[in-house]
Structure 1
């Protein structure tokens, strides 16, 4: 028996929709790109020309009212995520929401409650859970290659001297902006699914581009899991001039693992050099492999660790499809409750950076 096909509507037609969502909708067998909300098409940016078979709406309300739509993808700015997700759930649609989920953990809980009441599912697009280097590091830890992990560093450092003018460059009180919600969400989410909620959070927010303290552009967040747990360091900086940017440095009682460079999927998608389903999509050059160092007696042994075969960000869409087809809450690849907990960590980091004190969760 053939699987049911689900009509998918996309709210927004910016980079997120074009690069991170529509390509994966098109390769998910049970999903059909049904419609797109683009408020102001332009001659060189027109969803109707790029996707002539899709309906084009100029209002999200019109999409909510379309009874033929089963799933709505929210790709707009974070300050709109709560209202759009709430309206979609109440209109009887399943929802996939770009990260950051919503500005606050309280709003996240409200949406979880609405999801439970309506029976419609929420998935949050924490796609970097499917970075091949992260999956490789996670397997090394699960296989006991590092022993008990005592320190875990996750970095997203770059040389980016000009601040973005979008929400990613502005840490507002109510709009989930700035680096902690942009890159920090990815890094903290990865730490969360490895180790859970920390006992305490200590954070320093800085402005590396200039001496202004108004808009932090860089973060260092320490997640403390107690005496027996690891110390997790989350770092994102914008003035890191280097030929190789550190991505992971994991130290354990039996070995350490160090990896440089980022997973290539984002760059491939942006450049159009490779797309989901291509044989080279998500494949990182072997010369960028991580290094595992262990002890044999008193001798250090270094081993090159090639990345696992990419499952790619398409896996998130595949799993969400299975959840909608009948797998339910347990099958959702990134649950709203998990995104809520990540927001609790972010809120604690903001409080710590403001007060100069550690915050207990």
Structure 2
């Protein structure tokens, strides 16, 4: 009989409700068992949304529950180190929302603690399971493009107005700023696909006019490889394009250009459920226009429509987690892997300040 693992979620905000719980509930070997919510409201109460679960008012209280097998941390990044350490010391397996922690030193300490406790430590790099990234990965690893020399990955949007509100994503704080928020996605994908770089060059700053708070809303990071590969990872908030570039990969035998972000977040925000037919799938008219594969035939580039693959969706993250918990397979994204990405981010920050390329 397959063991079911009880999941406790710390935090009941947008991340928990939209990016975690719906996908946890798609995996039969995972059971939503408990939620930590400090101050429930009549219109925001996990007990009403998920009858039968336990609700705790603090993470400290929840990790003392011996029935909890794995703790999912969905709070702001400046709380991650404390909460991950708390859960590991209580001998719980842990999934931490990205960005993992603000520093590589903190990341390595938590990885070592997980090893000492013989527990699994994962980071929620769900965008490894974006349909567009899976498509790019297959093209690169299959050799369809030949030797890849340039890989561009973008998370650009046109949002020039200074944001209001109290979200950590727009605040100056440890683990804050676009390089941690969006960079942790695009840099993780690149390092997952190509491995750690040899050198890093970073340009991090603010594109919005009139933003006096010091929040860094944009970045360009170059990852240099001794193979000759150059990775360019970018996020911009001033990008008035009808269709935003997502990927542009160039190899000796072909190139691949893709516009628009993976559709899952867009669908979830529109109210679509992970169980709905078509979730995660791009309509054919969309990939027909924006998925372009250019190959060399008889010395001449030929442009072809290239369909996005059928998506594994973000449910695959939790499927892989359940298998790892059962001792069958690797984590979907380990703490050790996330530590490398945090190192890239720290080097990019240092490079941007010092105006020079740094060795990894």
User: How is 1:194-343 mapped onto 2 (pairs within 5 angstroms)?
Assistant: 194-210=193-209, 214-226=214-226, 228-273=227-272, 275-289=273-287, 290-327=291-328, 331-343=330-342
Partner of 2:156: 157
Q: Which moved more, 1:298-307 or 1:182-191?
A: 298-307
Gap change, CA 1:20 and 1:212, over 3 Å in 2? closer
Query: Structure 2 unaligned runs (5+)?
Result: none
C-alpha contact (below 8 Å) 1:260/1:288 kept by paired residues: no
Aligned counterparts of 1:353 and 1:271: Cα–Cα separation in 2:
37
- Tell me by how many angstroms 1:229 deviates: 2.8
C-alpha contact (below 8 Å) 2:8/2:70 kept by paired residues: yes
- Tell me by how many angstroms 1:215 deviates: 2.1
Aligned counterparts of 1:238 and 1:339: Cα–Cα separation in 2:
25
Partner deviation per Cα, 1:37-90 (whole Å, 9 max, x = no partner): 001112222222211211111111110111111111000011111111111111
Aligned counterparts of 2:48 and 2:276: Cα–Cα separation in 1:
24
Partner of 1:357: 356
C-alpha contact (below 8 Å) 2:10/2:37 kept by paired residues: yes
Deviating 4+ runs (over 3 angstroms) = none
Partner of 1:192: 191
Partner of 1:135: 134
Q: CA RMSD in A?
A: 1.3
1:216 match: secondary structure: coil
Report how many aligned residue pairs link the two structures.
354
User: How is 1:70-109 mapped onto 2 (pairs within 5 angstroms)?
Assistant: 70-109=69-108
- Tell me by how many angstroms 1:212 deviates: 5.2
Aligned counterparts of 1:140 and 1:156: Cα–Cα separation in 2:
20
Partner of 2:175: 176
Aligned counterparts of 1:170 and 1:198: Cα–Cα separation in 2:
29
Partner deviation per Cα, 1:82-115 (whole Å, 9 max, x = no partner): 1111111111211111001111111111111111
Aligned counterparts of 1:287 and 1:203: Cα–Cα separation in 2:
36
Aligned counterparts of 1:287 and 1:229: Cα–Cα separation in 2:
35
C-alpha contact (below 8 Å) 2:162/2:209 kept by paired residues: no
Gap change, CA 1:212 and 1:360, over 3 Å in 2? farther
Aligned counterparts of 1:122 and 1:68: Cα–Cα separation in 2:
18
C-alpha contact (below 8 Å) 2:187/2:341 kept by paired residues: yes
Query: Structure 1 unaligned runs (5+)?
Result: none
- Tell me by how many angstroms 1:196 deviates: 1.1
C-alpha contact (below 8 Å) 2:162/2:210 kept by paired residues: no
Partner deviation per Cα, 1:265-324 (whole Å, 9 max, x = no partner): 111122222x22332110012223211111111322111110111111111100110111
Q: So what's the TM-score if we normalise by structure 2?
A: 0.95
Aligned counterparts of 1:148 and 1:288: Cα–Cα separation in 2:
28
2:327 match: secondary structure: helix
1:288 match: secondary structure: helix
Gap change, CA 1:257 and 1:21, over 3 Å in 2? same
